[in-house]
Structure 1
Amino acid sequence: MRRVEATFLEDIYGDGDAVPRDPSDAPFVALLLEGTLREDVPGPQGGAQLFALTFAGETLSPLSPRRSGGTLTAIDQSRLLTCDRIGFDRLAGAIPRLRVNLLGLLQDQLAEAHCWQTLLGRKTAMERVASMLAWFHARQGRPEEMYLPVGRAELGQMTGLTLETVSRQMRALERQGVIALSLPTRVRVLDETGLKHLTGDAPLRRPLHS
């Protein structure tokens, strides 16, 4: 741990602060200890579009050339551990399993993203919105009240739905007593089991036969 603490730097960012990501220093590894980070990349039609969200306990992947023109921004107060390439290579030489652990984390995140994209194409509008909320809820450690890091329009982009459809499904979930929308960016999960069932992923119970 002393080697890790001596190599990694800890930085604290406030809500809306830009996180430096110098392409000349890429790739680097980073572990988010607290908060949420959003990454935006240039869109095909100009402007910026949401590329990824990183929650506490997750790692940032090394920066690729395609994403070097993007921005990384903190949402709420965020604590980030970072290490440059030279420092990480030196540390990995002293602690070989560190590189294996990082690779495992990145593989898990890639597998989850692939599974997510595959499943979304087969879901109804309600199942997509419920799945996204359940996904955010799980990635934030299943708090009683979770932070919704994107607006309705971006939630629509992520689920392949219109803003109106997303809003309609959110209101339907609230009417059913599954969630409570205290603020636009705060969602209370009142019925976690019900939310999981509405994702369409919950296994069906077979009826008991006498």
Structure 2
Amino acid sequence: MKDLYKIPKDLLAIQHPYPDIEKLAVFLRNYKNKDAIEIEEFIRLWFTEGVPWVFRNCPWLYERVRTIISKDLSIEFNGIFMIGSGKLRWSLSPNRFLKEYNFCNPSDLDFTIVNDDLFQRMKIDFEEWKELVEVKKKYELKNKYQKDNIDLLPQNIGAGFIDMYKLPVDIKELKTRQLFPNLVVKLGKMFQEYLGYNFSDKKSHMKITFRIYQNWDSFLKQNLKNLNDIQRNIKI
């Protein structure tokens, strides 16, 4: 049985808030057991807490953004945070693994929200969209992405999360989905003003995204799965 009162030296060497890339790689290589408590601790410490890398020189902007999201979506602020390379500095995506966040090399700003009420409202939007398309025949699926999303979302919902962008933005009956476009525009303008980068420029392909989780358990399970998949498939 693991002695929780003893912390290995390689873990103590990883500094907060932005880990050194070599020490991060060592950690991901050494702690591959899907049941390792260290992986769960890593997710809690580096995914959910602290000021993201992209806001390191303007931390108050990050907190103001959380305030705005909280008020616009009528949710508590403490379930709002950023993940991804914009948070950690280094990407954990398979196609950009351990590459540094770079505004010039298009990277999204990925916001996570853990809130059951918002999750349920988004779930209702999905069910409404599906009925409007498949039962009432009021709307058609416009492209391959919508066809994929209407099939994929039940699986995502079953896992306890919904990606905002997978619901169509132009259907007025989706009441909660309609809260996001204006919010994204406002945040984009703030990021341009205070960070100097244009998220409304389609050439940059940079997006502001939101994933909504039902609860902390679903957040932890999905991110444990994502990390385990990376550790299993990427040579570190």
Q: What TM-score do the two structures reach when normalised by structure 1?
A: 0.31
Larger RCO, structure (CA 8 Å, separation 6 or more): 2
Between structures 1 and 2, the one with greater helix share: 2
Normalising by the residue count of structure 2, what TM-score does the alignment of the two structures yield?
Answer: 0.29
